[in-house]
Chains A and B, each alone.
Chain A
Amino acid sequence: MTSNDVPGAHVFDGVRIADFAWVGVGPNATMQMAFHGAEVIRVESSNRPDTFRNGGPRPPGVNNLDASAYFAKFNRGKRSAAINLAHPRGAEVARRLIATADIVTESFAPGFMQRIGLSYEEVRKIKSDVIMCSMSMEGQTGPHAKFRGFGLTLQATAGVTGVTGWPDRSPVGTGVAYTDWVATHLGIIGILSALDHRRRTGEGQYIDLSQFEASTLVLDAGVIDAANTGRVARPLGNRDLRHAPHGVYPCADDHTGSDRWVAIAITSDDQWRRLALIVDRQDWLESDELCHAAGRLAAQEALDEGVARWTSTQTVGEVEQMLQAVGIPTHRASNVRDAHNDPQLAHRNHWWRSDHPVIGEMSYESPAWRLSDTPPPMPRRSPLLGEDSEYVYRELCGYSEQEFQQLIVDGVVE
């Protein structure tokens, strides 16, 4: 703890996580705990590096495993130990590390941890009150347990893709590894619940997190509706079943070089009247049908056209200003540059700067929450592959200097 931290800022001080997870979900979950003080040891190997260590962006021309900003995004605040789990002695090192850990996380294909002797049954023999969390695509059991995937495709299995698109075209999905952002939180919530239970009872446990099952939570009533009525939700474009007009409309060129769109969501009759006044549509104001949501839903095709005709004559900033001034939910469709420069996110200090010897200085996201009394300090930068091997082998696993050197020679530390 550094001297300028507030008391309690290291919420998970003394909690150690042996983190065998890789790619998105697991590392994102353990990073949130690292931010709040947990010691997270990424178990890595250059023989089978985290996919994101080969990802981008990276500084031009730098092609080593430490250059990926995408990896850095998910691994700030952690340490990295190089442990070659394919080596016969790799599992022995892993077992020594687990003996010092409170939590073990992994996201390999089901069966891998068993093959190297690190199933939950084995792990709890090493540390009886350990909490182990496996975060796989579809869970540890069942006919599809070993089916492969990642967030880009799993969102299709999990139902998100099928309800994302225009009604007259193919579904499109989200274009990002969407379910990663859902499953991450079930991972955190599961681990922290288990940690609280252990604190009170001394009992550890195993968490089998299926990213598929976790992601059904965000389908609103889609699954419960199909299960009890057979109805199947369909993609609606940007429309809403209860409100209209409700869409994303084109704006005039604002000379930023971006195509410009603005989202407007009329969610009450009051907002509708205010919109009609600003757009100066006497016919809308006088219509008895349009003063109720049902009438507007019936006329939404024409309303969308009318709104779009008006927004096309305004810049996105003008529309935001005029409509927000009268309390109408409105916001530009921010692209990544807008998000990066957004004044509200800047106000929250959302993008945390982090310097890195290979990547250089970049900003990365911070949690979507702010804690009034125990804000975490800025996290340590993302580790180089194996940067903390000596600390982990010598201090945590208890190998002598001579043994450590021999493990290097034998190819375990790589």
Chain B
Amino acid sequence: MSPTTPAALSPYRALDLTAEIGSLSTMVLAGLGVDVIRVEPPGGHPTRKRGPMLREDEASSLYWAQKNAGKRSVTLDLEDEADRERLRALSETADFLFESDAPGAMTARGIGYRDLIERAPRLIYVSITPFGQTGPKSTWAASDLIGHVSGGLSSLVGEPDRAPLRPSVEQAYNITALNAGSAALIALHARHLTGRGQHVDVSMQAAMANTLGNARLYYEMDGIITQRAGGARAFADRATRIIYPCADGYVAFVRIPASMKALHRWMAAEGGEPRFDADKWAGMSIAGNVLPNDDEVTELESEIESFFAARGAQSLYESGQHHGVMICPVNTMQDIVDSPQLAERGFFDEVDDPALGRLRVPGAPLKMSATPWQSRPAPTPGQDQDQVLAAATDITQGA
């Protein structure tokens, strides 16, 4: 980073004590310039052993590299009072503290919100938990899967003849962490007004309950319980198909009225003979009152199916979009790595990871013209111990 282009949040420091449910929040803040200090137990944070691994050995976690990019690290044993005191001193140098222990666990160790705010009144203390700090389920055991089902999203995901489903990457944790990032910055702006920090209580269940689209509204207004519909939009009592197989994978296409004339032109331009009535389908609103019957839908979908089946996903994407059709490939992780769009925008960065060597990493999730995102590697355990704790010791001795 050249000194003339500081990151947006470079004056601030965060202490990061989170598990998987929270570590993305501080990763984003680190990319925006916050000095994020990972506080790890002796021997390193447990997620350092979490796969996928770059090499055969247990010390090459790509999960760690991704979720802790740009952070620094100190090692503290929070079961030990001397180290807890170091944490308290450190909190006086920090603007944020992020933690995800069970409600009450930090307080039991004398490092809860009330304990720290006394010494560090400007500290924004962000607690990220499955259900929130209080309430009938606040002590319930949970995991990412529990986040999906407790907020209701799983009921809209999956095949009708099988169980409700979660995505196979930990979306409940990640969405919760992003909510915590937004909340922390709102609290930062509040501090500009009040001069004081505060306790931010983030709930995974609430974060997931906010992903239900309009399905809960349909229950409240019309009593409809929207159900999972396979590769289709879960929409009140009518599902609309999204996923279609193609020659080398899958594509996503929704028969919204705005796409139907373009689809007809595209199929004709590719040498097909589309039989469906483009004007009629363009006049049908998915949400409105003019609806096709099941036979019409089946006929249309089978026509689309045979057109897609003869072509590859990326080529359907390029040619369909050039004809104005809202179609997308169902990208694999490799397709994302190979994306010409991401390449042209310079999305991928390279960093020199102290443990893993040169790594190709996903770069800025948003492009800020004056304060660009910083891609930096994840830390080794305790790599910044002396430097960070020396500053905290000065404070303790001064106090």
- Chain B 352-365: CB-based contact to A (< 8 A → 1; otherwise 0): 00000001111011
Contact B8 A193 (CB under 8 A): yes
User: What are 8 contact pairs spanning A and B, CB under 8 A?
Assistant: A11-B186, A145-B341, A176-B215, A210-B345, A216-B365, A248-B163, A347-B135, A362-B217
Contact A194 B8 (CB under 8 A): yes
- Chain A 304-315: CB-based contact to B (< 8 A → 1; otherwise 0): 000000000000
A344 CB contact (under 8 Å) in B138, B162, B201: B138
Contact B366 A174 (CB under 8 A): no
A327 at the interface (CB under 8 A from B): yes
Given contacts A220-B169, A333-B155, whether A258 and B225 have CB atoms under 8 Å apart is yes
Given contacts A54-B285, A238-B163, A373-B190, whether A148 and B145 have CB atoms under 8 Å apart is no
Contact B62 A224 (CB under 8 A): yes
Contact B220 A363 (CB under 8 A): yes
- Chain A 176-207: CB-based contact to B (< 8 A → 1; otherwise 0): 11100110011111101111110110011111
B274 at the interface (CB under 8 A from A): no
- Chain A 1-23: CB-based contact to B (< 8 A → 1; otherwise 0): 00000011001110000000000
Q: Bound state CA distance, A250 and B138, in angstroms?
A: 25
Interface with B: A90-98, A291-299, A335-343, which one? A335-343
A348 CB contact (under 8 Å) in B52, B206, B228, B359: B206
B76 at the interface (CB under 8 A from A): no
Contact B62 A192 (CB under 8 A): no
Contact A248 B149 (CB under 8 A): yes
Given contacts A56-B287, A193-B371, A333-B155, whether A226 and B333 have CB atoms under 8 Å apart is yes
Interface with A: B36-44, B170-178, B291-299, B384-392, which one? B170-178
Contact B202 A334 (CB under 8 A): no
Closest residue of chain B to A15 (Cβ to Cβ) is B189
Q: Which residues of A contact B199 (CB under 8 A)?
A: 371-373
B70 at the interface (CB under 8 A from A): no
Contact A205 B225 (CB under 8 A): no
B222 at the interface (CB under 8 A from A): yes
Contact A176 B217 (CB under 8 A): no
Q: Which residues of B contact A13 (CB under 8 A)?
A: 193
Contact B328 A149 (CB under 8 A): yes
Closest residue of chain B to A362 (Cβ to Cβ) is B220
- Chain A 240-271: CB-based contact to B (< 8 A → 1; otherwise 0): 11110011111000000010010101010001
**Which 8 pairs show the lowest CB-CB distances between chains A and B?**
A339-B152, A347-B135, A369-B183, A205-B370, A175-B234, A156-B252, A185-B178, A193-B8
Q: Bound state CA distance, A344 and B151, in angstroms?
A: 10
B51 at the interface (CB under 8 A from A): yes
Contact B163 A233 (CB under 8 A): no
Contact A344 B136 (CB under 8 A): yes
A148 CB contact (under 8 Å) in B214, B231, B321, B368: B321
Given contacts A194-B368, A197-B371, A335-B152, whether A221 and B63 have CB atoms under 8 Å apart is yes
Min distance, Cβ A122 to any Cβ of chain B, angstroms: 15
Interface with B: A99-107, A162-170, A379-387, A398-406, which one? A162-170
Contact B321 A164 (CB under 8 A): no
B306 at the interface (CB under 8 A from A): no
Q: Which residues of A contact B141 (CB under 8 A)?
A: 271, 324, 327-330
Q: Bound state CA distance, A406 and B14, in angstroms?
A: 54
A69 at the interface (CB under 8 A from B): yes
A sample of 19 more A-B contacts (CB under 8 A), given A221-B52, A246-B145, is: A56-B287, A152-B233, A171-B231, A185-B182, A188-B182, A193-B185, A209-B367, A233-B168, A248-B149, A248-B165, A263-B149, A267-B143, A330-B140, A332-B149, A337-B219, A347-B136, A368-B203, A368-B206, A374-B194
A213 CB contact (under 8 Å) in B207, B211, B243, B342: B342
Q: Bound state CA distance, A265 and B167, in angstroms?
A: 15
Min distance, Cβ A184 to any Cβ of chain B, angstroms: 8
Q: Which residues of B contact A138 (CB under 8 A)?
A: 341
Contact A219 B169 (CB under 8 A): yes
Closest residue of chain B to A36 (Cβ to Cβ) is B186
Given contacts A164-B165, A164-B167, whether A153 and B327 have CB atoms under 8 Å apart is yes
Q: Which residues of B contact A152 (CB under 8 A)?
A: 233, 242, 252, 254
B330 CB contact (under 8 Å) in A7, A144, A171, A197: A171
Contact B252 A324 (CB under 8 A): no
> Which parts of B82-98 form the interface with A (CB within 8 Å)?
none
Contact B149 A368 (CB under 8 A): no
Number of inter-chain CB pairs below 8 Å: 523
Contact B243 A172 (CB under 8 A): yes
A230 at the interface (CB under 8 A from B): yes
Q: Bound state CA distance, A234 and B168, in angstroms?
A: 8
Contact B168 A235 (CB under 8 A): yes
> Which parts of A33-91 form the interface with B (CB within 8 Å)?
36, 54-59, 69-70, 73
Contact A222 B155 (CB under 8 A): no
> Which parts of B15-55 form the interface with A (CB within 8 Å)?
24, 28-29, 32, 50-52, 54
A227 at the interface (CB under 8 A from B): yes
A27 at the interface (CB under 8 A from B): no
Contact A261 B164 (CB under 8 A): yes
A237 at the interface (CB under 8 A from B): yes
A217 at the interface (CB under 8 A from B): yes
Min distance, Cβ B75 to any Cβ of chain A, angstroms: 23
Contact B190 A8 (CB under 8 A): yes
A282 at the interface (CB under 8 A from B): no
B73 at the interface (CB under 8 A from A): no
Contact A374 B190 (CB under 8 A): yes
Min distance, Cβ A166 to any Cβ of chain B, angstroms: 6
A391 at the interface (CB under 8 A from B): no
Contact B252 A161 (CB under 8 A): yes
B290 at the interface (CB under 8 A from A): no
Contact A336 B167 (CB under 8 A): no
Min distance, Cβ A169 to any Cβ of chain B, angstroms: 7
Contact B341 A162 (CB under 8 A): no
Q: Which residues of A contact B213 (CB under 8 A)?
A: 176-177
Given contacts A237-B165, A334-B155, whether A196 and B146 have CB atoms under 8 Å apart is no
Q: Which residues of B contact A204 (CB under 8 A)?
A: 370
Q: Bound state CA distance, A231 and B334, in angstroms?
A: 8
Q: Which residues of A contact B142 (CB under 8 A)?
A: 329, 331
Q: Which residues of B contact A287 (CB under 8 A)?
A: none
Q: Which residues of B contact A343 (CB under 8 A)?
A: 135-137
A147 CB contact (under 8 Å) in B28, B180, B242, B321: B321
Q: Which residues of B contact A161 (CB under 8 A)?
A: 243, 250, 252, 330
Contact A331 B66 (CB under 8 A): no
A302 at the interface (CB under 8 A from B): no
Q: Which residues of A contact B234 (CB under 8 A)?
A: 175-176
B2 at the interface (CB under 8 A from A): no
- Chain B 118-141: CB-based contact to A (< 8 A → 1; otherwise 0): 000000000000011111111011
Contact A169 B186 (CB under 8 A): no
A172 CB contact (under 8 Å) in B158, B171, B202: B158
Closest residue of chain B to A327 (Cβ to Cβ) is B141
